[in-house]
Amino acid sequence: MIPFAALVLVTTAFTEARPIPHPLIIVSRLVNDSDIYANWPTYDQLPLHPSFPTKAAWGVWGDSDELGALNHIRNTTILDAKSEIQLGQTFNLNLQLSMPDPPLNPNRRPLIHAIQPFAGYQDDVVTLNTQISTQFDGLRHFPYSTNFSQSTYQFYNDLITFDDIMAPGGSATLGIQNTAEKGIAGRGILLDWAGWMESKNASFDVFSAIEIPTSDLDAVATWQGLDPTSVFKPGDFLVVRTGFTKQYDALSPHAQAILPYREDANATFIGIEASDATLRWLWDKKLSLVGGDHPAFETLPLGNSPIDGVLRSLHEVFIGGMGNEHWYELPYLRILTKFFASQSST
C-alpha cells in the first residue's frame, strides 16, 4: 500500500447542482516537489479510491490539480530534451485549419474563412470548430460517462460538471488555457507503425477498426533501432504514425466527401487498442501526452473494450481520468519519417 493524504470532506453547497455528487472522500497522493515520483501509484493501484471512476488518476497530482499528465514535464525534462537536439531543424506537424473537409465527424461544421477588406489593409476572419484540424483534446472535452448520458458525466479530478461548462459565464476550470500557460516543450518519440508495416509488405486499411496493440509499438521501436524498454523518459510525448493521412490524401475528392457518412457499423478508423494493456504501458512510461496522424488516437468507434472490467474508451480514462492531453492528426509526420529515414546513421 502506498501512502496517501486522505481528507474526508462533507459537501453541502455543491451536491444539489451536481447530478453525481462530488466524492465525499477526497484522496490524494503526497506530492514532493523534489522527488515527484515518491509514492507513485502503479497502474494496479488506480484509482486511489474505490468511489473514483475506472482507472482514474484523480488525486495523483493533488486533489485540485488541473494539469494531469502535463505535470510530468519539469524543468529538467526540458533541459534534458534540449541536450538531444542535433540538427536544429524544425518541422510543421499541423494540418491546414480547414482539413479534413468535410470533417470526419459529420456533426462538425467545416471551417469558414473570409477576408474582410478595409481601407488600406485586410484581415482574415476564421470561424472554427477546434476539433476539425490538428488539435489537442483538453480536459473539458471528454468526461467519463455511462452511454453518453449527461447526468453521469465525470471530469478530471471531479472539478466541474457539464452545467459548469455550459452555464453562461461558467468557470474556466480545466480549460485548455492551463496547457497554454504551462507550455508544452520536451521530447517526442515518433513510432512509425505504418513504415514498419510497409517494411513487412503488410497491407492495412486505416478506414477499418484496426486496433494497434502495444506489442506492435514495442516492435516498431525495435525496428527503428530504439530499445522499447528504455527509450521513453518521464514527460515524453508519444506520437504514432498510422499512415492515416497518407491514405486519406490519396482518396479522390468524392471518396473524401463521403467518408464521414458511412453507416454506423462501417464508421471505423484505425487507432491504438483501448485496453488495460495500453493504459498500463502508457502509465508506466509517465508520458505527458499522446498523439498521432489519425482521428482519435484510439480505434473508432469508441468504447468497445472492457477496461478494468467496464466498457470504457481511452478518451474517458485519458482525459477524464488521467488528465492526458490527446494530440491528433499530424499529417506532416510522414515528412518527419522520411527525414529520419534519410538520417538513419544518426
Ligand X SMILES: *[C@@H]1O[C@H](CO)[C@@H](O)[C@H](O)[C@H]1NC(C)=O
What does the binding site for ligand X look like in residue numbers (CB under 6 A)? 32-35, 74-75, 146-147, 149, 152, 200-201, 263-266
Q: How far is the CB of 115 from ligand X (least distance, A)?
A: 40
- CA angle (27, 28, 31) in 5-degree steps: 165
Nearer to ligand X, 90 or 147 (CB): 147
Q: Which residue is nearest to ligand X (CB)?
A: 263
Separation between Cα atoms, residue 292 and residue 269, nearest integer Å: 13
Q: How far is the CB of 33 from ligand X (least distance, A)?
A: 6
Residue type, 127: T
Nearer to ligand X, 20 or 111 (CB): 20
Could you please report the per-residue DSSP string of 44-59? GG-SSSTTS-TT--TB
Q: Which residue has the cell 453518453?
A: 148
Q: How far is the CB of 122 from ligand X (least distance, A)?
A: 41
Residue 325: what are its φ and ψ, rounded to 5°?
-75, 145
Could you please report the per-residue DSSP string of 223-242? HTT--TTTS--TT-EEEEE-
Q: How far is the CB of 1 from ligand X (least distance, A)?
A: 17
Intra-chain end-to-end CA distance of the chain, in Å: 44
Nearer to ligand X, 178 or 278 (CB): 178
Separation between Cα atoms, residue 135 and residue 133, nearest integer Å: 6
- Residue 310: Cβ-neighbour burial (10 angstroms; 0-12, 13-18, 19+): middle
Q: How far is the CB of 6 from ligand X (least distance, A)?
A: 16
Nearer to ligand X, 91 or 261 (CB): 261
Nearer to ligand X, 250 or 265 (CB): 265
Nearer to ligand X, 75 or 342 (CB): 75
Q: How far is the CB of 262 from ligand X (least distance, A)?
A: 7
Q: How far is the CB of 105 from ligand X (least distance, A)?
A: 17
Residue 114 is placed in which grid cell?
473570409
Separation between Cα atoms, residue 241 and residue 193, nearest integer Å: 6
Separation between Cα atoms, residue 135 and residue 187, nearest integer Å: 18
Question: What length does the chain have?
Answer: 346
Residues 6+ apart with CB under 8 A from 301: 209, 264, 267, 268
Nearer to ligand X, 12 or 34 (CB): 34
